[in-house]
């Protein structure tokens, strides 16, 4: 999973990552920037170091490895240099599945991360591009994280994963991003006064404020994958859209790649 900041993959795909990890699959989160702009009082190297440490702790709690690329937060551009960084990360991991943001988003770093990963799709299989890292023999399946943006087209939940059983673990992992969950995001969102001081209370509060409402489209996808009866009980879900670039999976292939969707 590839995000712009060291907490993006966590929020958008963390529950699914936990489920994969529990099944024995190897998951990597990559943050394309080092997060060195995301705070109201800290900045620069000190902030990047703090966020790197938080990401490593979150990675442990999710059961994933967490890489942070040393590009400045808030200044990301879809350059050839960063494209090659992304291509190398996908190749070195020999990824079967790559999940990233759609290129339409309020935050320019999210937008350009979406573009950078789109630019890497296909190129990861081209040997003459970044030849110092061997090209992949087959193109991975690329998917997008869910978002609520409507233009130019709304998110289409091709895959919807029930994360109800691991939602508490997801929140515990996100709790590792203290600088974000309890300081920066509440400050920029004007709700700093709502953050509980007590550590245990904070994590409960996080679970209340971070729960994502299941949209009608995601509900329909859950029904498709889990059946009507089981889907009624699902409280928390993460959804993904298949990208038109990269390998194009049919339903059987999606079930192979997302084995948590196969209900017995």
- Binding interface with Zn ion (CB under 5 A): 4-5, 8
Q: Do β-strands 141-145 and 237-246 pair in parallel, antiparallel, or remain unpaired?
A: antiparallel
Taking the least distance from each CB to Zn ion, the nearer of 16 and 139 is: 16
- Tell me the two tokens of residue 182: 């309890």
Taking the least distance from each CB to Zn ion, the nearer of 5 and 102 is: 5
- The CB-of-70 to Zn ion minimum distance in angstroms stands at 16
- The CB-of-64 to Zn ion minimum distance in angstroms stands at 17
Q: Which residue sits closest to Zn ion, CB atoms considered?
A: 5
Taking the least distance from each CB to Zn ion, the nearer of 26 and 188 is: 188
d(CA 236, CA 247): 28
- The CB-of-35 to Zn ion minimum distance in angstroms stands at 8
Taking the least distance from each CB to Zn ion, the nearer of 15 and 35 is: 35
- The CB-of-201 to Zn ion minimum distance in angstroms stands at 25
Taking the least distance from each CB to Zn ion, the nearer of 15 and 249 is: 15
- The CB-of-197 to Zn ion minimum distance in angstroms stands at 26
């Amino acid at each position: 999973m590839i995000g712009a900041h060291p907490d993006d993959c966590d929020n958008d795909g963390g529950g699914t990552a936990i489920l994969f990890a529990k099944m024995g699959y190897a998951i990597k989160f990559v943050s394309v920037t080092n997060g060195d702009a995301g705070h109201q009082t800290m900045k620069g190297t000190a902030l990047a170091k703090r966020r790197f440490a938080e990401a490593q702790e979150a990675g442990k709690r999710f059961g994933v490895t967490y890489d942070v690329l040393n590009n400045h937060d808030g200044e990301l551009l879809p350059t050839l240099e960063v494209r090659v960084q992304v291509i190398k990360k996908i190749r070195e991991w020999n990824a079967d599945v790559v999940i990233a943001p759609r290129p339409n988003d309020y935050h320019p770093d999210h937008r350009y991360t979406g573009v950078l990963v789109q630019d890497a799709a296909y190129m990861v299989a081209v040997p003459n591009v970044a030849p110092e890292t061997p090209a992949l023999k087959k193109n991975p399946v690329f998917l997008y994280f869910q978002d609520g943006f409507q233009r130019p087209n709304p998110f289409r939940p091709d895959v919807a994963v029930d994360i109800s059983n691991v939602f508490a673990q997801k929140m515990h992992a996100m709790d590792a991003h203290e600088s974000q969950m309890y300081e920066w995001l509440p400050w920029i969102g004007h709700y700093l006064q709502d953050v509980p001081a007590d550590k245990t209370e904070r994590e409960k509060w996080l679970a209340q404020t971070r729960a994502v409402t299941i949209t009608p489209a995601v509900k329909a996808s859950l029904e498709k994958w889990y059946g009507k009866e089981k889907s009624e009980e699902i409280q928390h879900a993460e959804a993904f859209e298949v990208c038109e670039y990269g390998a194009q999976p049919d339903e059987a292939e999606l079930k192979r790649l997302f084995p948590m969707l196969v209900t017995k």
